[in-house]
Amino acid sequence: MAGELLGCYNHELAFKVMQEFRLPMAPIYVGAIAKIASKRQVSKIFDLLKNVKGSVDDKDWDEVVLAAIKVMVRDHNDPKTGEKLVDKLVYLQSKVHPAHAPPHTHTHHRTRTTAHAHGLNEVCCRWRGS
């Protein structure tokens, strides 16, 4: 029920229900944000995150944010929104740990790193006069 209320964007009532019945907030938020993300409602994702912050601890916060990232990047191929969401993660390991990163991110990171290394190599060769 709380998840459905969150899906309908009624955070206050959902929060009261979760507190009243001592429901685990993190799994409910994870499910709700994944459902909202599956509908590509990006502004609603950020609205829900504003309301969730402070309701869960940092570890659970990262799980909620990661749920949105996974749906946006894996299901909707929207790395731009994924990158905006990564900025909201608390723990650095959540930002860089390959197990949490969607598959597209690995390729994107590898491509960017290779391109960066190639560009750096060119600059070094020019500087040395090679």
For 16, the 3-state DSSP assignment is helix
Predicted confidence pLDDT, tens digits, the chain (130 residues): 666 767 666 788 888 888 999 999 999 999 999 999 999 999 999 999 999 999 999 999 999 999 999 999 999 999 999 999 999 999 876 666 544 444 554 444 444 444 444 444 444 444 444 4
Are the CB atoms for 42 and 85 separated by under 8 Å? no
pLDDT of the residue at 100 = 46
Distance set, CA 70 to CA 22, 59, 77, 78 (Å): 27, 16, 10, 10
pLDDT of the residue at 15 = 86
Compute CA 59 distance to the chain's CA centroid, rounded to the nearest angstrom: 13
**Dist. CA 109–CA 42, nearest whole Å:** 23
| Widest CA span in the chain | 71
Q: Which residues on adjacent β-strands are paired with residue 53?
A: 56
